């Protein structure tokens, strides 16, 4: 049996050597955050793009020949490289540029000529800020971030200046900031009112433009309305009693003048003496109580007395105005409010309709009964012009002891605060002989 050896032949497969990516160009240069386009070869499956060893936080492979990457924070010139599973590319230089800062807003955009207030600048490119200026005057500042800085406004005259910020990238365009004078409060009218507040007053002065608050002591006005740069109206809040300083605040600051508003307690009426009088008025009465100073009105019912004198905080003397028969409430009004009421009675003149007996001995001493109306407040019973002792039994009856007098007829009258009655005749007789 014939045998022969045989051997197997193997085909050798060609091998492909791994090729690292290659960067040929980059564009553009710029500050951190710039989107940079890289062109070259071998970018497929890129796993990283680094700027001087710092990975880009965001990159996108557009094709095997193009990648876009966001430049991370950095400075100066660094080498950009692309890494793929096949290796890391050559490096190509990328130079960080510094953007010129830009201010988009400033808040507040006005303040006192005295300065000292803090303002906030918002914009871009604030990193590395070296100065903030109000006009030509440098301000103390803190660069909070690339987009925000705070500065303390320096003092300056009234007017508008440009605020700028400077960084290694240059100086920003200016943004206006206005210096305004502190408000000056000259007067408050009226300068007093009730503890409950709610009344409207007028404030006069200067620099009221842009007013942000009006305060009475520590209490803010319920509301206020700017009328002009020199006048405000405000609704007084509750407070007191006593004086409080009034202040006006604007973006320039708070007024410092000593201008006061007085909170007054409402008047208190204790008594009216005498408490009655004729319907024609004209008689004088005394009101006693408290908080009567600066009284603006005394009223009997709805009728204001036209003549009164404030004797003290506790006493007013008043000439009673005319009225109608009956009882009316008396009140006192001050800037602090209106008092409680006290009664005053308008009286008609008394009327005598009967006199029993209507005659008696000239020696007097006998009792006479008078009937009629309006006798309650009798102050005198006159036989002619001679007063008699009397006792009031009711509004319709009183008794009197006839005084001695000459023989003959005499007129009897009754006097009250409401007036004097029409007389009725009484005859004195000769005493009987023994």
Interval 338-383: pLDDT, tens: 999 999 999 999 999 999 999 999 999 999 999 999 999 999 999 9
Both 89 and 120 in a single domain? no
Q: What is the pLDDT of residue 434?
A: 60
Q: Is 17 among the domain residues? A: no
Task: Name residues of the chain where pLDDT drops below 70.
Answer: 1-17, 433-434
Both 365 and 399 in a single domain? yes
Q: What is the pLDDT of residue 13?
A: 44
Both 279 and 331 in a single domain? yes
For residue 393, give its domain range: 351-429
Distance CA 321, CA 278 (A): 10
Both 248 and 229 in a single domain? yes
Both 173 and 200 in a single domain? no
Q: Is 278 among the domain residues? A: yes
Q: Is 80 left (phi over 0), alpha (psi -120 to 50) or beta?
A: beta
- Among the candidates 233, 249, 264, a domain finishes at 264
Both 121 and 75 in a single domain? no
Q: Is 328 among the domain residues? A: yes
Distance CA 25, CA 32 (A): 19
3-state helix, strand, coil in the chain (%, to 5): 0, 55, 45
**Number of structural domains in the chain:** 5
Q: What is the pLDDT of residue 17?
A: 61
Both 188 and 260 in a single domain? yes
Both 223 and 275 in a single domain? no
Q: What are the helix (H) ranges across 43-187? A: none
What the block records as the tokens of 109 is 């955009």
DSSP 8-state code for residue 96: B
The pTM assigned to this predicted structure is 0.58
Q: Is 30 among the domain residues? A: yes
| Structural element, H or E, at residue 389 | strand 386-394
- Summary count for the chain: helices (H), strands (E): 0, 47
- Among the candidates 264, 284, 309, a domain finishes at 264
- Look up tokens 């009798």; give the residue: 378
Q: Is 222 among the domain residues? A: yes
Phi/psi for 31 (5° steps) reads -80, 175
Both 219 and 167 in a single domain? no
Q: Is 13 among the domain residues? A: no
- Look up tokens 């590395």; give the residue: 128
Q: Compute the radius of gyration of the chain from its Cα atoms.
A: 52
Q: Is 29 among the domain residues? A: yes
Q: Are 148 and 121 in contact (CB under 8 A)?
A: yes
Both 143 and 73 in a single domain? no
Phi/psi for 181 (5° steps) reads -75, 150
Q: Is 434 among the domain residues? A: no
Q: Are 36 and 93 in contact (CB under 8 A)?
A: no
Q: What is the CATH number of the domain that holds 366?
A: 2.60.40.10
Three-state SS for 409?
strand
Exposed (0-12), middle (13-18) or buried (19+): which is 1, by Cβ within 10 Å?
exposed
- Among the candidates 180, 204, 231, a domain finishes at 180
């Amino acid at each position: 049996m014939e045998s022969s050896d045989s051997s197997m032949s193997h085909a050798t497969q060609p091998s492909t050597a791994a090729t690292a990516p290659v960067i040929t160009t980059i564009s553009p240069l710029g500050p951190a955050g710039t989107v940079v386009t890289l062109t070259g070869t071998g970018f497929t499956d890129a796993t990283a793009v680094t700027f001087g060893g710092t990975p880009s936080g965001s990159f996108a492979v557009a094709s095997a020949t193009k990648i876009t990457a966001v430049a991370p924070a950095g400075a100066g010139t660094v080498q950009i490289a692309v890494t793929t599973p096949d290796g890391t590319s050559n490096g190509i230089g990328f130079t960080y540029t510094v953007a010129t800062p830009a201010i988009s807003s400033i808040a507040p955009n006005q303040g006192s000529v005295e300065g000292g207030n803090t303002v906030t600048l918002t914009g871009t490119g604030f990193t590395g800020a070296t100065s903030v200026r109000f006009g030509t005057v440098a301000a103390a500042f803190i660069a909070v971030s690339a987009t925000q800085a705070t500065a303390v406004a320096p003092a300056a005259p009234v007017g508008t200046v440009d605020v700028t910020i400077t960084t290694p990238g240059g100086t920003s365009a200016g943004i206006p900031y206005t210096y305004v004078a502190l408000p000056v409060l000259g007067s408050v009218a009226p300068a007093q009112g009730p503890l409950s507040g709610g009344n409207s007053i007028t404030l006069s002065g200067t620099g009221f433009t842009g007013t942000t608050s009006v305060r009475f002591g520590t209490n803010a006005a319920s509301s206020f309305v700017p009328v002009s740069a020199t006048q405000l109206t405000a609704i007084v809040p509750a407070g007191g009693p006593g004086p409080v300083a009034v202040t006006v605040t604007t973006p320039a600051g708070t007024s410092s003048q000593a201008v006061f508003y007085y909170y007054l307690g409402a008047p208190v009426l204790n008594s009216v003496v005498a408490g009655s009088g004729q319907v024609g008025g004209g008689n004088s009465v005394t009101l006693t109580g408290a908080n009567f100073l600066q009284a603006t009105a005394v009223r009997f019912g709805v009728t204001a007395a036209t003549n009164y004198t404030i004797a003290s905080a506790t006493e007013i003397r008043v000439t009673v105005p005319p009225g109608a028969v009956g009882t009316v409430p008396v009140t006192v009004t001050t800037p602090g409010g209106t008092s409680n009421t006290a009664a005053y009675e308008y009286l008609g003149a008394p009327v005598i309709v009967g006199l029993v007996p209507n005659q008696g001995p000239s020696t007097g001493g006998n009792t006479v009964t008078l009937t009629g109306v309006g006798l309650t407040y009798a102050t005198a019973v006159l036989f002619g012009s001679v007063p008699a002792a009397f006792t009031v039994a009711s509004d319709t009856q009183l008794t009197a002891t006839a005084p001695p007098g000459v023989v003959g007829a005499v007129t009897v009258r009754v006097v009250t605060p409401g007036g004097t009655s029409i007389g009725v005749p009484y005859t004195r007789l000769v005493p009987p002989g023994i």
